[in-house]
Amino acid sequence: MTGTGGSFSHLGVHVGPGSSVRCSTYPDQSPILTIDAVSTSAAFSIEGDRIGREAVEFARELARAAERFASEVERLHTGQRAADEAA
């Protein structure tokens, strides 16, 4: 985590039933990725009016991390289902 200022923040969200993710797109400005988890909402967009190479690289890294997250959730779910069926 790097930045030019001295302030920073950290947000941890535990998702459950009723949580959702959406991506809002616009013709001439950055898309907004929103995660809603019952009483918490986090929105992400790209800073500024121009989309540079760094923003594209960040978006691709975000997509790869989300794919790994989904794969791990699926792996754990499959293992838990198998254990439940065996019990």
Segment 36-48, tens digit of pLDDT = 998 899 999 998 8
* Residues present in the chain in total: 87
Asked, for residue 8, whether it belongs to a domain, the answer is: no
pLDDT at 2: 59
Q: Are residues 67 and 44 part of one domain? A: no
Domain of 67, in residue numbers = 52-87
- Residues 24, 34 contacting (CB under 8 angstroms): yes
Q: Is the pLDDT of residue 5 over 70?
A: no
Closest alpha carbon to 49 in 32, 33, 34, 28:
28
Q: Are residues 83 and 57 part of one domain? A: yes
Q: Are residues 87 and 59 part of one domain? A: yes
Q: Is the pLDDT of residue 3 over 70?
A: no
Q: What is the pTM of this model?
A: 0.77
Q: Are residues 22 and 36 part of one domain? A: yes
